Amino acid sequence: MSHTESNSWFSDQLVGIQKGLYAYILTLLPWPEEASDVLQQTNLVLWRDSAKFQIGTDFRAWAYRVAYFQVLAQRRKVQRDRLRFDDALMQELAANMDREAVYAEEEALILQDCMKLLPAKDRELICRRYDAGVSVKTMAADLNQSPNAVAVKLHRVRQKLLECMEQRGSERDSR
């Protein structure tokens, strides 16, 4: 992979985990402003050390580990605060959040798979409502249906998605 391709891949990976990385840091630090600062510091360290990352290994795990150490460094800087969590609790919170992040990613993938199984009209209905944020009233007008009919249809499609996700989640958990 060329240097330009490598930088592009790295940038795509980094941008893709920003929300999750911020949420992870926020679980370890009490103030959003402090978490934002640590996120920026983490991004700087990740870019500075990008040559050390080996493509093909788990980028998210590496980035979260860097963030964890940046949180510890921040905590050492702010030791004068009265309310502090001990390091054992921090490690437990970090491990729990890591498991939750993996679970959330798995759930998102299951939802994507279940969406693909829906008929095109149902998929379009869900996408218009939740991705595009179109109101039920507007959708009803566009479809020449009553808002109640559209709401009932959305409910039925959501129910199908829920059943599909529960089934696939059960399959995943039984492995």
User: For helices 147-173 and 87-117, what crossing angle results, to 10°?
Assistant: 120
How far apart (Å, rounded) are the C-alpha atoms in residues 160 and 162? 5
How does pLDDT run across 123-144, given as a tens digit for each residue? 999 999 988 899 999 999 999 9
**Does 54 have pLDDT greater than 90?**
no
pLDDT at 6 over 80: no
Mean pLDDT for the chain?
88
Last residue of a domain, one of 117, 136, 162: 117
Q: For the segment 75-91, what is each residue's pLDDT rounded down to a tens digit?
A: 888 776 556 667 888 88
Is 137 in the same domain as 109?
Answer: no
Are 2 and 72 members of one domain? Answer: yes
SS3 content of the chain, % helix, strand, coil (to 5): 80, 0, 20
Q: Which of 70, 100, 117 is the last residue of a domain?
A: 117
Residue-range definition of the domain harbouring residue 136: 118-175
Which of the listed residues 75, 98, 117 is the one where a domain comes to its end? 117
